[in-house]
Structure 1
Amino acid sequence: MTRHVLTGGLIAGLIAGLFAVLLQLTFVVPLLLEGELYETGARVHFGTGDPKSIAGSPGIIAEDVARHAGTLAINLVSWIGFAILLMVGFALASRSGHRIDARKGTIWGMAGFVAVTLAPAMGLAPELPGTIAADLQARQIWWAATVVLTAGGLAALAFGRSPLAIFAGAVAIALPHIVGAPTLDTYLGVSPPELSAQFAARVLAVSAAIWAVLGAAAGWLWIRSPAV
């Protein structure tokens, strides 16, 4: 069982990680780089600047190559980890009599998207460089609590067999947002709000697509190689 979980998680994570890099380089990174132009002052909102003086220099091009390599490595490690967690969930569900396939794996993947990305984004939206935010540690604690409570709440809603379990799941999902994420008293930032909104939307859309692919791949691998 352990070998099955690790092997399936490795393959599914590699598939999702490579897909993630493709989508991020196409849709997310260009906005991220543009946001950095505002952060460094090469561009000014409602002002003038000379972005070519920074974006076109050889040092920045070399830096981008190194960054993209780092993006690849981080994505592969992260999505392999998520895939292994999904496989562990599949194993537990299978022991309870639930059949896992590619379709149900996709549903599990979208649940992962809700828990890890969508629910935290309701309080802490994806941010461009240069965005001023609340205390980092407080945001990390709220994010982690939101992920855990949302995942647990979704599990209770999906597998709970009593009204109390379903009610507890709904409360767990709502609790972080009732408490509220750490925020500042004012809005600060150097990037145009239109760019920030587009960045947040693309991050969420890309994440949803990656989680769907991860779940489908993990479910397909699970049913193709039954655990022994």
Structure 2
Amino acid sequence: MFRNLFFAALVAALCAGLATSAFQAWRVTPLIFAAESFEGSGGEAHVHAEGTAAHEHDDAAAVSAHEHGDDEWMPQDGLERTAFTVFSNILMAAGYALIIGAVSVLFNLPVTFANGLLWGVGGFAAFTLAPALGLPPGMPGMPVADTLARQIWWFSAAIGTGAALVLVAKVRAPWALAVAVALILLPQLIAAPQAPDDPTGVPPRMTAEFVSAVLYNGALFWVVLGLAFGWMADFLAARPAPQLNGAKA
């Protein structure tokens, strides 16, 4: 069982990583490149002599702009940067897929193709939508709050929502629904860390397009991850178990 779950997680990670990479190349990355020209401008366009590496992840779904000096290595624009982006997306997908497998085993909640969409929607709600309510995805060149404070709030929102969904799936009782609602709302009632009110040259329309693209990307990522995981888990479960030589069926 553990071997099947692990292999299903790897296949699902490959599918989701490739799908989200394609969507990022189409919608997210062009917006990041456009925003990098405003990074550090304080309201005036500023073009970098070197490209900046900034990657948005549905983990959360935040983009961080990297400052680099003369001796700092970074992938070159083009094929090398695209390859590193795809590889990092697959690794991220593998981590989330293993989380799905762990939750499935710990709480006896099987992952199948029939409920794979529900797993995907749950993952999107917990790791993308709930954190984005307080910490919307940010573009390069925009001011952000303290990193540790953002990480703590993001973690509480994701874990609270995920725990609420597991509780509702396991316990069919009114009190469980009430506790689940409280777990979801509690992090939202605690104000997320606010970014400083510094001037930025990023146009508001570009920011809105970026947030929309990131949320669509997160939805695509989780739907593909859940369905691929469920399909592969069903396929492996339907295979006959190998038998030792001489063993009777």
The one-character-per-residue Cα deviations of 1:148-181 (angstroms, maximum 9, x if unpaired) are: 1110011122322222222111100000000120
The one-character-per-residue Cα deviations of 1:48-90 (angstroms, maximum 9, x if unpaired) are: x6869878xxxx9933443322211210111011112222333
Aligned residue type for 1:26: W
SS of 2:23's partner is helix
| Partner Cα separation in structure 1 for residue 127 and residue 75 of structure 2 | 32
The one-character-per-residue Cα deviations of 1:192-211 (angstroms, maximum 9, x if unpaired) are: 01101100100001110111
Asked if 1 retains the 8 angstrom alpha-carbon contact of 2:130 and 2:157, the reply is: yes
Aligned equivalent of 1:105: 116
Q: Which has the higher helix share?
A: 1
| Partner Cα separation in structure 1 for residue 36 and residue 48 of structure 2 | 13
- What does 1:78-117 align with in structure 2 at a 5 Å threshold? 78-92=92-106, 95=108, 100-117=111-128
Asked if 1 retains the 8 angstrom alpha-carbon contact of 2:124 and 2:218, the reply is: yes
The one-character-per-residue Cα deviations of 1:64-119 (angstroms, maximum 9, x if unpaired) are: 443322211210111011112222333445x4xx6642231111111101100110
Asked if 2 retains the 8 angstrom alpha-carbon contact of 1:146 and 1:176, the reply is: yes
Deviates more, 1:76-85 or 1:193-202: 76-85
Q: 1:209 aligns with which of 201, 204, 220?
A: 220
SS of 2:168's partner is helix
SS of 1:23's partner is helix
Asked if 1 retains the 8 angstrom alpha-carbon contact of 2:145 and 2:193, the reply is: yes
Aligned residue type for 1:75: N
Matched, 1:171 2:182: yes
| Partner Cα separation in structure 1 for residue 173 and residue 48 of structure 2 | 62
| Partner Cα separation in structure 2 for residue 163 and residue 23 of structure 1 | 40
Aligned equivalent of 2:27: 27
The one-character-per-residue Cα deviations of 1:131-163 (angstroms, maximum 9, x if unpaired) are: 111111100110011111110011122322222
- What does 1:54-203 align with in structure 2 at a 5 Å threshold? 62-92=76-106, 95=108, 100-184=111-195, 186=197, 188-203=199-214
Distance apart, 1:31 and its partner CA: 0.2
Aligned equivalent of 2:15: 15
Deviates more, 1:160-169 or 1:132-141: 160-169
Asked if 1 retains the 8 angstrom alpha-carbon contact of 2:28 and 2:214, the reply is: yes
Asked if 2 retains the 8 angstrom alpha-carbon contact of 1:109 and 1:216, the reply is: yes
Instruction: Work out the number of aligned pairs and report it.
Output: 217
Aligned residue type for 1:183: Q
Structure 1 stretches of 4+ with a deviation exceeding 4 A read: 49-55
Aligned residue type for 1:69: A
Aligned residue type for 1:70: F
| Partner Cα separation in structure 2 for residue 50 and residue 80 of structure 1 | 37
Aligned residue type for 1:38: F
| Partner Cα separation in structure 2 for residue 184 and residue 54 of structure 1 | 26
Unaligned runs of 5+ in 1: none
Deviates more, 1:152-161 or 1:98-107: 98-107
Q: Percent identity?
A: 33
Asked if 2 retains the 8 angstrom alpha-carbon contact of 1:9 and 1:87, the reply is: yes
| Partner Cα separation in structure 2 for residue 71 and residue 61 of structure 1 | 10
